[in-house]
């Protein structure tokens, strides 16, 4: 079993390296958005797109086991989106993302969001060629998620604490959650926001713009 897992990950990593080269040659910023189901990933994406689409080219790859509902929500914002249905699979892999790129054909210097299947376990092990994994944690999920699913939070460069507008109605300890995340991954950056009300979104947008600018500098 260990050998099979090693072989699968090694094969995936080769495809991920090809994707990373693709992004680098085009000056693109690719982000792998990971979370539990219901964390608000798609709402965060639609609100982010609404704020950035006039200034940046954006494309989205959507991962779900079934349906194209999320891709339809993204396309309704006016940006291209491609749905990948994984069936019984619990995560996206680099090979599927590479094929999606062939169809989607994102523009040079664009921002590519890859919304992974809702799952805090499997996606942590699979590199898609992205610049960063961004883990979204809803305040409705409980502050202990970083220590219950440490691999995901260790693999992420940024944690977004979402749905903060609900904090007055919940028994959720934000400081404890942040402490747990830092315990698992001392280098992780953390932003708190509400995609619904817009509170904290400016910090997220500033982070995105700074990272995209870095990709463009590397491209040049």
Predicted pLDDT at 8? 72
Please list the alpha-helical segments (H only) found in the chain: 2-26, 41-52, 69-75, 94-104, 145-148, 150-155, 174-184, 201-219
Residue with tokens 């460069």: 157
pLDDT tens digits, one per residue of 20-48 = 999 999 999 999 999 999 999 999 999 99
38 contacts 119 by C-beta, under 8 angstroms: no
CA triple 117-123-127, angle to 5 deg: 120
pLDDT tens digits, one per residue of 75-98 = 999 999 999 999 988 999 999 999
Predicted pLDDT at 220? 58
Whole-model pTM: value is 0.94
179 contacts 166 by C-beta, under 8 angstroms: no
Q: How many CB atoms lie within 10 A of CB 169?
A: 9
What domains are there in the chain, each with its CATH number? Answer: 2-219 (3.40.50.300)
- Interatomic CA distance for residues 47 and 70, integer angstroms: 13
């Amino acid at each position: 079993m260990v050998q099979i897992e090693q072989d699968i990950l090694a094969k995936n990593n080769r495809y991920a390296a090809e994707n990373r080269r693709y992004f680098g040659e085009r000056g693109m910023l690719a982000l792998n958005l990971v979370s539990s189901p219901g964390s608000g990933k798609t709402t965060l994406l639609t609100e982010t797109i609404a704020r950035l689409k006039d200034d940046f080219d954006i494309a989205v790859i959507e991962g779900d086991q079934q349906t194209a509902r999320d891709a339809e929500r993204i396309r309704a914002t006016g940006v291209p989106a491609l749905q990948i249905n994984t069936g019984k699979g619990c995560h996206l892999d680099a090979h599927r993302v590479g094929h999606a790129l062939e169809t989607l054909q994102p523009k040079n210097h664009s921002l590519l969001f890859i919304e992974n299947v809702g799952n805090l376990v499997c996606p942590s092990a699979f590199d898609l060629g992205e610049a960063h994994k961004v883990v979204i944690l809803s305040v409705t999920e409980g502050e202990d998620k970083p220590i219950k699913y440490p691999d995901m939070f260790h693999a992420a460069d940024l944690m977004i604490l979402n749905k903060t507008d609900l904090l007055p109605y919940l028994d959720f300890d934000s400081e404890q959650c942040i402490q747990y995340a830092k315990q698992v991954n001392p280098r992780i950056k953390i932003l708190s926001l509400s995609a619904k009300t817009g509170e904290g979104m400016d910090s997220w947008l500033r982070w995105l713009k700074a990272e995209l600018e870095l990709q463009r500098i590397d491209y040049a």
